[in-house]
A and B are shown apart, each in its own frame.
Chain A
Amino acid sequence: MDFSNRKVENLRRVVALLTMFITSYYLYWRYTETFNPQSLFFSWALFSAELFGAITTFLFFFTVWKPKTRTAPPSVPGRSVDVLIPTKNESVAVLRKTLLACNDLRYPHRTLVLDDGNRPEVRALSEELNCVYLARETHDHAKAGNLNYGLQHSKAEFIAVFDADHIPLPHFIDTLIGYFEDNKVGFVQVPQEFYNIDSMQHRTDWKKKTIWGEQYLFFSLIQPGKDHWGAAYFVGSCAILRRKTLDDIGGFATASITEDMLTSIKIHAKGWTSVYHNENLAFGIAAETLKPFSIQRQRWGVGNWQVFVRANPIFIKGLTLSQRLSYLSSMIYPLEGLQKLVFYLTPPAALFSGVLPMRALDVNYLLHFIPYFLFSIFGFSEMSRGVGGQILLEQYSMAKFFTYLKTLVIPFFPKKGKVFKVTPKGEEGLAPTRTLIIPQFVVLILSFTAMLWALVELLLDLRRDSFIVSVNCFWALYNSGLALAIIHFDYKKLFQRRSAFRIPDTVLASYRPAGETAASEAQLAVLDNITEEGIAMVALDQIPVGKEFEVDLMLSKPYLRLQCRVVRERSMSASPYQISHIGMRFTNISQPARDIISRYLHETAVIKFMKDYVLGYKTYIERRFGRKSRLYERAARSLAYLPVIVREGGGRHSYGAIKDISDTGLLVLSQETWALGSEITLEIVLGKERISMTGLVVRMIPRPDEIFPEYLIGVQFKEESGEKVQNLIKIAGQIGDLIFE
C-alpha cells in the first residue's frame, strides 16, 4: 500500500479533520436538542451507540494518521535463531506443512515444536523432519506458557514464532533479521496473511481477481499506522522477538489469553521499540466458518478485557501517550457488540412502538444527520485507504456482535470462556454450527416482522408517520441484508466439498490412461488448481468420472508422476471441441511426493496467485488527485488454460501453459527462457489437434525460485494469425465460463 503521495495523504487528513468536526457538532446537537423526553432510555441508548462510533472513528483516524512504510535492511549473518511452533490440537497434516516450510527457511536456525497436546504422532513428525520436540507435563498459561517453556530450552538471540498453521516463506528470517541491528528493537512483526481466500474472513471475486479480507484493514493499515506511533504490536505469530527483550519482561506474558497484546504492552512499557514490516512472509489458514471465527474473536475479546483490567494501557507506566491511545483503540472494540445491538434493535423498536429515540425525524434532524452520515462514510473510506470496505465490515460486525456481547459477560463468570481455545484449522475448522447464526436469524425475523407490522398499520390508517416508518424500514432492511449475508455464507459452507483450499495455479501436466505406456497416448493439459490431495484440470477431451490416469505434474524436472482418479467432471461443448473441467484425486500418493507438492504450493504457488489478486480499491481522493498510472493500450485478455509447445528456429522446443490471450498476443508460463525479440512458433494444443501460429517474444519475466523456476513470456502475434486468434479467444472465454461457473 502506497502512503507516499503527500498531496493525497494531506487531503485525506483534511477530510478526517472535517469529519471529526462535523461528527462532534452533530453529537453536541443530538445531546442538547434531540432527546425524546417520552423515551429517555431509548434516546440514551442510540446516542451512546453513536458516541461510541464517534470515539472509535476518532481513535481510528488517530491510529492511521500517518502509516509507516519500511524497507527491510540487509540481512545480517551469524545470528542464532530458534523457531518456536506452539501447537495443541492442530492436525498433523496442518503442522507438517509448517514444519516443511520451517526446514526450508534459508537462514540457519533450529525449529522447536512445542506440543501442548503431548501427542506421539507430533513427536514422530518432529523427529522425521529433524525438529526439536518439546512437551510440557503441565499446561499452565496456555499458549504463553507453552512459548515460555520453549524459551527455557532455547539459547538463541532471536525467537521466531509461528502458529501451527502459519507457513513461512524461505526468506522470512533473512528479510527481518537486519532490523535487529538497532539494539532498541524488541520485536519485528509481519502481517498474518492467509492463503485460503474462500474462508469466513474473505470475500473473493474469482473472475475479477479481487480479494477483500476482514483483517486487511488491520494488517495493511492499522499496524503500519501504529508503527508510526511506535505501537505496532506482536500478534502471536509471524514475528521475530529479541530474546533479551523477552527476558527483560519475564518471558511471554501469561496474565491474559491474548498473550500477544499483553507481551507487546510490557515490551513497549520497558522502552523497547517495535517494527512492523508490511510484507507477506508467511501464509496461514484463516477461520473457515463462523465457528472458528467466533471462537477466535471470543478469545480476543475476553483477552482484551483481561489486559484492560490487569495492564490497562491508560495507567501502565512507561508508555507514551500515542502508545496508550493506540492500545486503547485496539482494546475497546468488543463494545461494538453493544453498539450494534442498539443499531439492530432500534428500527424494530421504532416500527413496533411508534416511539422514536429522538424528538422528531424531521427536516431539521435530516439536515444534521445527512452531512454527518455522508462525512462519516467519506472520512472512513479515505482514511482506510481503500481497504475499508464499509459494507463488508458491517457484515462482519453482524457476524461478531453476539460474540462480542458474550465477551462483556464472560469476565464476570469464574471460568467460563476464559480458557485459551485454539482456533480450529483445516478440516476441523469447516464444521458449521447452526446455533451460531441464531442471533442473526433473530435480527432478520425481528426486522422483517416489524417492517410488515408497521406497513400494515399504515395501510389500515392506524398510524400516519409514513416517513418515519419508511426510514426505519430501510434501516431494518439494511440490517436484514447483513444478517442474511452471514446466514447465507454459513449455509454455503455446509455444502462445501473440499477438505483443503484449492490453490489456484496454472501448471502444465500430461496425462494418459493408467496402464498405458505408449507415449503417443499422453495428452497435454493445464491445471487450474492444486491441493496435496488432488488437482483440477482443463482438458479438451471427454473424460468420465471414475477413470484412472497417470499424470505428470510439470512443476520441475524430473516431473512428478502421480496416479489419479477422476472424481468430478463438468463439460461444455465448444464446437468442434468438448471442453472439460475435471477434478482428480491422487491415489497412492507417497509422502515425499505429497511433501514436494506441499512445498511447491505454500512456498511458491501461494505467492504467485496472491500477486494475481487485487486487494483494496482506489478511494475518491486517490482517483482524483493521485498519481495517474501510465496507461498502456492493452487489448482485453481472456484466461486460457491451454497447453502450448513453443518452437524456436534452431529446432529447440519446450512446453508451456497459456495464462491469458488477447487479440494481439498471449502470455505463456514456461520453465525455459526465450530470447527477447526471437521469432517463435506456437503449437497450441486443442485436444488432439494443434493450431500453429507465429509470434515474437516481447516480454520475459523470470520468477526466481530455486526449486520451481518459472518464466512469464509475452508473445506478440504476427499479422497473419487473426482468424485463429479469434477462435482461440472464443474457446478461452468458454473455458473461463466453465471454470468460474
Chain B
Amino acid sequence: MTQAPRKSFLLILLLAYSLIVLCWGLVRNPFTTAEAKNIYIGRGLVTDGNAGWSGPVEEMMNVQPGAYSIAPLIISGVDRYAGLHGSRLVSIALGLVLVLLIFLIGDTSLYGKRGLLAATTFVFLGIPLQLSAFATTTPYTALFFAASVLLIEASAETASSGRRMLMLLFSSLSLTAAVTMNYISMLFVAPLVLYVFLRHRFLHAGGFFLLPLVAALSVYGYTAILPVWASIGRSLSLPLSHSSADMLSSLNVTYIFNWLSMPYLLAIFGIFHREGGKRAFFVMLLSFPVFLVNFMSSDLNATHLAVLLATIFMAPAAALGVDHMGDLFSSHNPMARIKPLFMFAVLLVLWVFGLQQIKELNRNNLDLTDAVSFLRARKLAGVTILIDSDYGSPEYVYRYFLESGSPPPQVLPVVRATGEERKRVVAETKPGYVVLDDYHSDRSFTLASLDYLSQGFTVAKTYQMSLSSGIKTVKIFHKGVL
C-alpha cells in the first residue's frame, strides 16, 4: 500500500475507533445536568421565545451564555423526536468531523504533514473526544473553533492572495460562531488574533480577520450580551464571593491540570522537535488562557469546553511531541523500525491514559439513575420534590425523567441553603420528597440531614455513588406514608 492510501486507511480506522468510543459514551454516560439544561432552554425558546429559562440567569450563562438560539434548539428538537440518544448522536457526528478537522490542521506543512498523528493524539487523549458524546453546546462550539484554526493554518499555506483573504474572513466568522455558541471561546480570541498577526501580513490579518471579528462580536455583544450584562456581572462575581464556589474553582483548576497535563507534557517534548519545536512552544504559550477559565465561569462544563478548545489548539504540537519522543526514545538508533515502535509505545501509554481519563470524567458526572428509579416508582402526581444539592443543578435531570407523570411533580432546587432557608422552603413548598446529596461538603450534609429529620422527614432511601472525589451519599427523605 502506498503512502497516501495507507494514510487514508489509517484515518478511516481512527474515525471508526472514535465512533466506537463515542457510541460507548452515548450508551454508558449518565444524563448530565448540562444536557438537561440545554434541552429546557431549547424547549423554552420554542414555547415562549424567552429562552425558557426558569432558573437564575447566571446559571443559564454558565451553560448557554448569550446565544440561546442555535445549539439548544437542535438539542431539544432532536430530543423531542429521537430522545436523548438522538441528540447525542448529532454531537457524535460533530465529534467525528472535529477529529477530521484536527487531522487537517495537523496535515498542513506547518506541522510536517503529521495529521494522522495529531488526530490520533487527540482521540487517544480521551477527554476531548468524550466531551463530544454529550448533547451540550461543547461539540458545536469546538467544531466552529477548530474550523477557525484550520482556516488560519490553511490560509497561511495558500499561494493565492484572494483565497488567503477569503479563508481569513471565514476563519473570523467561524470564531465568532464559536463565541456565540459558548462565550468561553472568548478565552482564545486574543491568542488567535495574535497568532494570525504573526502568521500573516498586517493588512491581511487586520482587514480580513480582526475587523470582521470585531464587527461580528460587537453585533453579538450588542444583541445578546448587553441585555443580560448585569446578570453576567453577577455570574462573574458570584464564584469569588462564595466559599463553596471557591472550592469548585479550585477543583476545576485540578481538573484542568488533570486533563491538560498530558497534552502539555507532550507539547513540551514537541518544543525539542527539530522541525516544529518553535511552533510547539508558541502554541503552548498561546494556550495558557485556558487557566483563566475560572474567571469566566466556575461551572465544570465551562472547564470542559476550555480544555477541549485548548486541546484542539495544541493537538498538533502534542503530535510533534509524540514524534520527538519517537526520536528521543529510539535514541537516534539507525534501525528504521525502532522509531515507529517507540511511537507506538507512546501512543499505547496515551491510549491507556485516555481511557482512564474517560473513566475519571464519568466519575464527575452524577449518575442519578437509582434515585430517579426510586422516585418513578412512587405516586408523584402533584407532589413537590425538593432537590437539595451543593453541586450543579441536578433538579433538571429529575425534572426531565419525572415529567411524564400526569400532572408531573414539581421539582424545585435548594442550592447551598442554610438551616433557616431550608425551614422556610419546606414551609412554603410542602415537599413530599427531599433528595439531599453531599457531593462536596460532608459537614453541611450532616447538618442538612438533621434539618430535614427535625422537620418530620424520614429517610426513605440511601444511595451511594462513586465520584472522582470518593464515595458519596444521596439520601431521599419523605414525609408521610410511603
State the A residues within 8 Å of B (CB): 203, 362-363, 366, 370, 391-392, 394-395, 451, 455, 458-459, 461, 464, 466-467, 469-471, 473-474, 477-478, 480-482, 484-485, 488
Contacts and interface: CB of A to CB of B under 8 A. Distances in A.
B7 interface: no
A458 B338 CA distance: 26
A467 to B, nearest CB: 5
B159 interface: no
Given A461-B359, A464-B356, A481-B342, A391 B328 contact: yes
Interface in B305-335: 325, 328-333, 335
A470 B355 contact: no
Contact of B353 (A461, A470, A477, A488): A470
Contact of A459 (B331, B352, B360): B352
A350 B36 CA distance: 42
Contact of B330 (A451, A455, A473, A481): A481
Interface in B328-377: 328-333, 335, 338, 342, 345-346, 348-350, 352-353, 355-357, 359-360
B328 A470 contact: no
Contacts of B346: 474, 477
Nearest to A464: B356
Interface stretch (B140-148, B258-266, B431-439, B450-458): B258-266
Interface in B351-408: 352-353, 355-357, 359-360
Contacts of B261: 363, 366, 467
B257 interface: yes
24 contacts: A363-B261, A394-B331, A395-B331, A458-B352, A458-B355, A459-B352, A466-B353, A466-B356, A466-B357, A467-B353, A469-B353, A470-B262, A473-B345, A473-B349, A474-B325, A477-B346, A480-B329, A481-B333, A481-B338, A484-B330, A484-B331, A484-B333, A485-B331, A485-B332
Contacts of B262: 467, 470
A451 B329 contact: no
A478 B269 CA distance: 12
B268 interface: yes
Contact of A370 (B268, B332, B348, B357): B268
Contacts of A366: 261
Which of B325, B335, B349, B355 has the most A CB atoms < 10 Å from its CB?
Answer: B349
A92 B360 CA distance: 70
A392 to B, nearest CB: 7
A487 to B, nearest CB: 10
Nearest to A394: B331
A458 B360 CA distance: 12
A395 B349 CA distance: 23
A488 B333 contact: yes
Given A459-B352, A474-B346, A481-B342, A392 B325 contact: no
Contacts of B258: 467
Given A474-B329, A477-B342, 7 more contacts: A451-B345, A455-B352, A466-B352, A466-B353, A466-B360, A470-B352, A485-B332
Query: Lowest 6 CB-CB distances: which A-B pairs, in order?
Result: A466-B356, A481-B329, A485-B331, A481-B331, A473-B349, A477-B329
Nearest to B327: A391
Contact of A451 (B333, B349, B359, B360): B349
Given A477-B342, A484-B333, A471 B265 contact: yes
A455 B331 contact: no
A455 B357 CA distance: 13
Main secondary structure of the interface of A (DSSP, over half): helix
B21 to A, nearest CB: 15
A461 B359 CA distance: 9
B349 A474 contact: yes
Contacts of A455: 348-349, 352
A512 B198 CA distance: 65
A12 B469 CA distance: 48
A392 B332 contact: yes
Which of A366, A392, A466 has the most B CB atoms < 10 Å from its CB?
Answer: A466
Which of B325, B329, B360 has the most A CB atoms < 10 Å from its CB?
Answer: B329
A203 B355 CA distance: 40
B208 to A, nearest CB: 33
A489 to B, nearest CB: 9
Contacts of B257: 362-363
Nearest to A392: B332
Contacts of B350: 470
A467 B254 CA distance: 13
Contacts of B355: 458-459
B130 to A, nearest CB: 14
B439 to A, nearest CB: 19
A484 B352 contact: no
Contacts of B325: 474, 477
Which of A394, A470, A471, A488 has the most B CB atoms < 10 Å from its CB?
Answer: A470
Contacts of B345: 451, 473, 477
A458 B356 contact: yes
Interface string B249-286: 00000000110011001001000000000000000000
Contacts of A473: 345, 349
Contact of B331 (A363, A461, A482): A482
A366 B348 CA distance: 23
A219 B173 CA distance: 60
Nearest to A456: B352
Contact of A484 (B328, B338, B348, B357): B338
Nearest to B350: A470
Interface string B67-108: 000000000000000000000000000000000000000000
Contacts of B338: 481, 484, 488
A189 B83 CA distance: 85
Which of B325, B328, B331, B333 has the most A CB atoms < 10 Å from its CB?
Answer: B331
Nearest to B355: A459
Contacts of A362: 257
A461 B363 CA distance: 13
Contacts of B265: 470-471, 474
B329 A478 contact: yes
Contacts of A370: 268
